Amino acid sequence: MRQSSFTCKILSILLVCGCFSAVVHAQTDINGIRVRPSPERTRIVFDLSEPVEHKIFTLSNPLRLVIDISNASLKAKLKGISLVDTPITKIRAARRNETDLRIVLDLNSEMKPRSFVLQPIMQYGDRLVVDLYTPEQQIRTENQKAKQISRQMRDVIIAVDAGHGGDDPGALGFGAQEKKVVLAISKRIHQLFAKEAGYRAILIRSGDYYIGLRKRTRIARKNGADLLISIHADAFKTAEARGASVYAISEKGATSETARWLAENENRADLIGGVSLDDKDDLLAGVLLDLSMTASLSSSLDMGTAVLESMSKVTRLHKKQVEQAGFAILKAPDIPSILIETGYISNPKEARALNSRSHQKKLATAIFKGLKNYIEKNPPPGSFLAWKKQGEKAITSYVIAQGDTLTTIAQRYRVTARRLKEINNLPSDVIRIGQVLRIPTT
Please name the amino acid found at residue 264.
E
Query: Whose CA is closest to 258, among 281, 218, 288?
Result: 288
* Residue 170 interacts with Zn ion (CB under 5 A): yes or no: yes
* Residue 165 interacts with Zn ion (CB under 5 A): yes or no: no
CB of 182 to Zn ion, least distance (A): 7
CB of 236 to Zn ion, least distance (A): 12
Facing residues of 47 across strands? 32, 127
* Residue 232 interacts with Zn ion (CB under 5 A): yes or no: yes
Q: How many C-beta atoms lie closer than 10 Å to residue 323's C-beta?
A: 15
| Closer of 198 and 304 to Zn ion (Cβ) | 304
The site map against Zn ion for 48-87 (x = CB under 5 A) is ----------------------------------------
Query: DSSP 3-state assignment of 316?
Result: coil
CB of 164 to Zn ion, least distance (A): 6
| Closer of 170 and 304 to Zn ion (Cβ) | 170
Q: Mark the segment that binds Zn ion (CB under 5 A) among 54-62, 89-97, 228-236, 383-391.
A: 228-236
For residue 83, give every residue at least 6 positions away whose Cβ sits within 8 Å of its Cβ, in sequence order, or none: 35, 89, 90, 91
Query: Whose CA is closest to 340, among 194, 234, 226?
Result: 234
Q: Mark the segment that binds Zn ion (CB under 5 A) among 232-240, 245-253, 291-299, 369-377.
A: 232-240
For residue 215, give every residue at least 6 positions away whose Cβ sits within 8 Å of its Cβ, in sequence order, or none: none
CB of 237 to Zn ion, least distance (A): 15
CB-nearest residue to Zn ion? 232
CB of 325 to Zn ion, least distance (A): 12
CA dist 44 and 37 (Å) reads: 9
- Cα torsion angle, 217, 222, 227, 232, sign: negative
* Residue 216 interacts with Zn ion (CB under 5 A): yes or no: no
User: Angle at the Cα of 229 (from 326 to 393), degrees rounded to 5?
Assistant: 120
* Residue 253 interacts with Zn ion (CB under 5 A): yes or no: no
| Closer of 331 and 438 to Zn ion (Cβ) | 331
Query: DSSP 3-state assignment of 239?
Result: coil
Facing residues of 76 across strands? none
Q: Mark the segment that binds Zn ion (CB under 5 A) among 5-13, 85-93, 224-232, 276-284.
A: 224-232
CA dist 330 and 296 (Å) reads: 10
Q: Mark the segment that binds Zn ion (CB under 5 A) among 32-40, 82-90, 227-235, 278-286.
A: 227-235
Kindly determine how many residues on this chain lie close enough to bind Zn ion according to the rule CB under 5 A. 3
Facing residues of 172 across strands? 177
The site map against Zn ion for 125-164 (x = CB under 5 A) is --------------------------------------x-
CB of 284 to Zn ion, least distance (A): 37
Maximum C-alpha span of the chain: 123
CB of 179 to Zn ion, least distance (A): 8
CB of 290 to Zn ion, least distance (A): 28
C-beta separation of 33 from 128 below 8 A? no
Binding-site ranges for Zn ion (CB under 5 A): 163, 170, 232
